[in-house]
Amino acid sequence: MIKNLLLIFLGGGLGSCARYLISKYFNQFHAVPLGTFTVNILGSLILGFFIGWALKNNTLSHPVSYLIIIGFCGGFTTFSTFSLENLNLIKSGDYAYFVLYLTGSIFLGILSIVFGIFLARSL
């Protein structure tokens, strides 16, 4: 139990740092929060891939799953930030960006999960 908690802690810290760096880089270029968008889509792909891999190999409770699926992806993805940024787009009157960001994130996030599972199962 302690080992799994340490793996989750380590993965979460790494995921949070990666999210910060990616968001800091991409968010400087446009009014739409492209950093968070990128992190959510990439995080969905990574999560889908590793869940697919774990299901394929029957290793969902393997330590790597704790490190990557629960830890890294939990620290990396940013739904709460995503929600706040959507609210800010609404408040600023950027309704077109709001709709584009909201629907693009959800659609591509789900599609990335499906693709990640497909990719892992096909290897």
Return binding residues for Na(+). 74, 77
Calculate the CA 42 to chain-centre distance: 6
Can you say which residues are annotated as belonging to the binding site?
74, 77
**Residue given tokens 């400087």 in the structure block:** 28
Give the tokens for residue 100.
Answer: 């584009």
Report whether 60 contacts 50 (CB < 8 A). Answer: no
Of 109, 123, 106, 122, give the one whose Cα is nearest residue 45.
109
Nearest to 97 by CA among 51, 55, 36: 36
